[in-house]
Amino acid sequence: MSGPDDAISPRLRLYRIPEAMELLSLSRTVIYEQIRAGRLRSVTQGRTRLIPADAMAEYVTLLINESGHHRDGPA
């Protein structure tokens, strides 16, 4: 039996700042700095700032690319 969340892709999930902090292992200050710098996309719903799952994935990819390390390349 399927529930109401079954139709929502995990890629479309929105995370509150504390959840994003935990998932990205970053402090609240760093999260907001990255949002202000345009490096981490966010949306607002009312007064709540939310981070889309795909924005977090893009941010991780950005960090990997900046570090010069790629998953498929030599370590």
What six digits make up the tokens of 48? 């709540």
The angle, 0 to 180 degrees and rounded to 10, between the axes of the packed helices 17-24 and 28-36 is 100
pLDDT tens for each residue of the chain, 75 residues long: 555 555 555 566 999 999 999 999 999 999 999 999 999 999 999 999 999 999 999 999 999 999 987 655 555
The yes/no answer on whether domain 11-67 falls in CATH 1.10.1660.10 is yes
Domain range annotation of the chain: 11-67
pTM of the model: 0.75
What string of H, E and C letters represents the secondary structure of 8-71? CCHHHCEEEHHHHHHHHCCCHHHHHHHHHCCCCCCEEECCEEEEEHHHHHHHHHHHHHHHCCCC
